[in-house]
Copies of this chain bind each other. A is one copy, B any other.
Amino acid sequence: MFSKIELSTHQNAELVDITSQVQKKVSQSEISDGICVVFVPHTTAGVTINENADPDVVQDILMMLDKKIPTNDPGYRHSEGNSAAHIKASLIGSSVSVIVENGKLQLGTWQGIYFCEFDGPRKREIWIKFL
């Protein structure tokens, strides 16, 4: 079985720190050692690990992604207007793998797990599997 986290995003583009929610699911499971796979079942969102201290870092990530992968481009063919969100999703990736030891996610001092919304606001899900 796998766990699900439900999430509502509030911005068009937003990085949401989900570390404590993922840790809660790890704590609820019976597995103390292994790997936790965090998977995003959406095609205009992703998941990444980055700095948990200064919120300016995630703003800078969103700003630069937006500058490099513009919302509007004459070459886009997809008619929904969210091609940039699909491209960002593939660049960032749909899953992260984190080591679990004694029931605790093993992350570096400055690392947090972030859900990456690129086409919100929306209701989203995050799927979590322990191995």
Contacts and interface: CB of A to CB of B under 8 A. Distances in A.
Interface of A: 1-2, 33-35, 37, 39-43, 48-51, 54, 56-57, 59-61, 63-65, 67-69, 73, 75-80, 83-84, 86-87, 89-99, 101, 106-111, 125, 127, 129, 131
Given A56-B79, A79-B56, A37 B129 contact: no
A90 B96 CA distance: 11
Contacts of A131: 34-35, 131
B39 A37 contact: no
6 A-B pairs closest in CB distance: A41-B108, A56-B77, A60-B83, A56-B78, A48-B90, A43-B51
A39 B97 contact: yes
B87 A37 contact: no
B129 A35 contact: yes
Contacts of A90: 48-50, 61, 92
Contacts of A42: 108, 110-111
Contact of A50 (B50, B54, B77, B89): B89
A40 B83 CA distance: 25
A103 to B, nearest CB: 14
